[in-house]
Amino acid sequence: MTQWARIGNPNRPGILEVITDWPEGKDFGMSPEEEVTCAEEAPPYNKLTEDEKPYALFTDGSRRIVGKHRRWKAAVWSPTQQVAEAAEGEGESSQFAEVKAIQLALDIAEREKWPMLYLYTDSWMVANALWGWLQQWKRSNWQRRGKPIWTAPLWQDMAARLEKLVVKVHHVDAHIPKSQATEEHQNNQQVDQAAKIEVAQIDLDWQHKGELFIARWAHDTSGHQGRDATYRWACDRGVDLSMDAISQVIHQCETCAAIKQAKWVKPLWYGGRWLKYQYGEAWQIDYITLPQSRQGKRYVLTMVEATTGWLETYPVPHATAWNTILGLEKQVLWRHGTPERIESDNRTHFQNNLIDTWAKEHGTEWVYHIPYHAPASGKIERYNGLLKTTLRAMGGGTLKHWDTHLAKATWLVNTRGSAN
C-alpha cells in the first residue's frame, strides 16, 4: 500500500515521487476554461446521513508475486449492500491496482446512475490526485518533463468522468489500534480483505522454498551466526527475511550442529586440578596447521583459558618457541595477566631452553603432556576442532582465506551459545 511507501533519494525518484512532485493546492493559476473538475473532500463515513450512505464506496488495491508472475487486484466495497466487486490482472503494481479500484467505483456509480459518489481510500496518492493534482496534470497536457505521466490514460478517463459526476473523497487512516476502530475503519478492513489475492498452496510452498533458499545463503555468507545476527546482516544488505525462515535454516544447518556439538564439552575447569585457579591464571595451548596464507602464515597458536574456556588465537608463519612466546605475551599476558600454569604437549616448539627460561622469569609452571593424549589435552583439541569448523563454514566449506576470517571465527567460538 502506498501509505507505507517512503520518499526515496531525490536523484532516484520512486513511483510516488513521479506522481507527487507537483504543487499542492486547488488553485494552479489556470483560467476557468482550462480548469478540470476535481473531487471535493468527503466527511468521515459516520458523518454521512442515511440517505447519503448508499452512495459510499470503499476502495483498495494489492499486488502479489504468484509463482513467476506479478498479479494485481482492485476491489470496491459497498457498506450498505455488503457486497464487494473486484478486477484482476498481471504485470502491474499495487498503486496501479488502487487507481483501477477508483475507476471500478466510477463504473458502478455510472451503471447505477447515482447522483453522487463518496469515495473512501487509504491511499494518499489517490486522494491527493482526485483532490487537486488532476488540474496540474491537465494543464501540463498529462506530461511531466516532456514524458507522459504514470498511467496517464487512467487519469484522463477519471478527469472526464468527474465532469459528469459529483465525487467526494475521504482518506481513511488504515493504521490504528483495533480498540479505536470505527465503522469507517471496519469497512476499510472489508475492502482490504476483498483486495487480497488468493494464492494456491503450491504457490505458497514455492514462495516459502524461495525464502528458505535466500535465508540459507544469508546464514552461510554471514558466517553461521545466530538468528538475530543473521537477520541484521540481511537487513543491512536490503534482504527482507522472516525470523521463522532464518530459524528453520539454522535448525537444519549441519555446520551449526557440528559447532554446537563441539561447544557442548565439559569446561576445562571440570576437574580437581583447575579448582584452585582464578581467571587468567591457567591456560592450555597448542598449534593448528592451516593452508598457507598470502602473508606466508600456516600455523595458529591457540590458547584456551582454563576457568572459562575463553579462546585466544595468534597466526604465525612457523611453529617455533619464539613465536609461542610472542603469542603468549600479546594475547595472554597483556590482556589477561601473567599465568601461573600453562599446559602444552612436549613438542620442540614448547619444550626447549627458550621456553624454560621465559617460564622461570615469569614464575609460570609449564606442564607437558603427550601430544593428542585425550585425558590431558582433550579440551584444547576440542577447541581446535571447533575453530577449524567455524573457519571452514566462513570460507564456504574450505579453509581458503582463513586468515581474513580468524578474528571473527575466534569471536564466534567465544560467543556462540550466549544470549546474543
Instruction: Pick the closest to residue 90 from 104, 75, 70, 74 (CA basis).
Output: 70
- 105-114, 118-127, 208-217, 276-285: least confident range: 208-217
Alpha helix positions (H), 21-75? none
More confident residue, 405 or 38: 405
Percent of the chain with pLDDT over 70: 79
Instruction: Pick the closest to residue 285 from 306, 302, 268 (CA basis).
Output: 302
pLDDT tens by residue, 80-132: 988 888 888 888 888 888 999 999 999 999 999 999 999 999 888 888 888 87
| Residue-wise burial string across 326-347, b where 16 or more C-beta atoms lie within 10 A, e elsewhere | ebbeebbeeebeebbbbbbbee
Sequence-distant (≥ 6) Cβ neighbours of residue 231 within 8 angstroms = 241, 243, 246
Distance from C-alpha of 361 to C-alpha of 324, rounded to nearest angstrom? 15
- For 86, 216, 231, 388, 400, the CA distances from 395, given in Å and listed in that order, are 51, 15, 20, 10, 6
What's the rounded mean pLDDT across residues 60-72?
A: 79
pLDDT at 368 over 70: yes
Among 211-220, 373-382, 388-397, top mean pLDDT goes to 388-397
What's the rounded mean pLDDT across residues 322-326?
A: 94
pTM of the model: 0.43
Mean pLDDT score of the chain: 79
User: Residue 67 has what pLDDT?
Assistant: 63
CATH entry, 266-415, from 3.90.25.10, 3.30.420.10, 3.40.50.2300, 3.40.50.150 = 3.30.420.10
What's the rounded mean pLDDT across residues 289-308?
A: 91
More confident residue, 115 or 201: 115
Contact by Cβ (8 Å): 347, 371: yes
Angular region, 7: left φ>0, alpha ψ -120 to 50, beta rest: beta
pLDDT at 50 over 60: yes
AA letter at 49: T
Q: Do domains 2-195 and 266-415 have the same CATH topology?
A: yes
What's the rounded mean pLDDT across residues 137-150?
A: 83
- 39-48, 175-184, 253-262, 330-339: least confident range: 253-262
User: Residue 338 has what pLDDT?
Assistant: 87
User: Residue 37 has what pLDDT?
Assistant: 59
User: Residue 192 has what pLDDT?
Assistant: 87
More confident residue, 50 or 143: 50
The Cα angle at residue 404 between residues 239 and 245, in degrees rounded to 5: 25
Strands 299-305 and 147-148, sheet pairing = unpaired
User: Residue 22 has what pLDDT?
Assistant: 40
Distance from C-alpha of 161 to C-alpha of 39, rounded to nearest angstrom? 11
Strands 299-305 and 282-289, sheet pairing = antiparallel
Among 54-63, 278-287, 366-375, top mean pLDDT goes to 54-63
Sequence-distant (≥ 6) Cβ neighbours of residue 92 within 8 angstroms = 63, 70, 72
Q: What residue ranges do the domains of the chain occupy? A: 2-195, 201-252, 266-415
What's the rounded mean pLDDT across residues 303-321?
A: 90
CATH number for the region 2-195 comes to 3.30.420.10
Among 25-39, 165-179, 193-207, 368-382, top mean pLDDT goes to 165-179
Percent of the chain with pLDDT over 90: 26
- 22-36, 58-72, 94-108, 392-406: least confident range: 22-36
Distance from C-alpha of 60 to C-alpha of 392, rounded to nearest angstrom? 50
What's the rounded mean pLDDT across residues 176-184?
A: 82
- Residue 38: pLDDT band (50, 70, 90) is low
What's the rounded mean pLDDT across residues 271-277?
A: 63
- Residue 321: pLDDT band (50, 70, 90) is very high
The C-alpha cell of 181 is what?
Answer: 476502530
What's the rounded mean pLDDT across residues 377-405?
A: 84
pLDDT at 78 over 60: yes
- Residue 60: pLDDT band (50, 70, 90) is very high
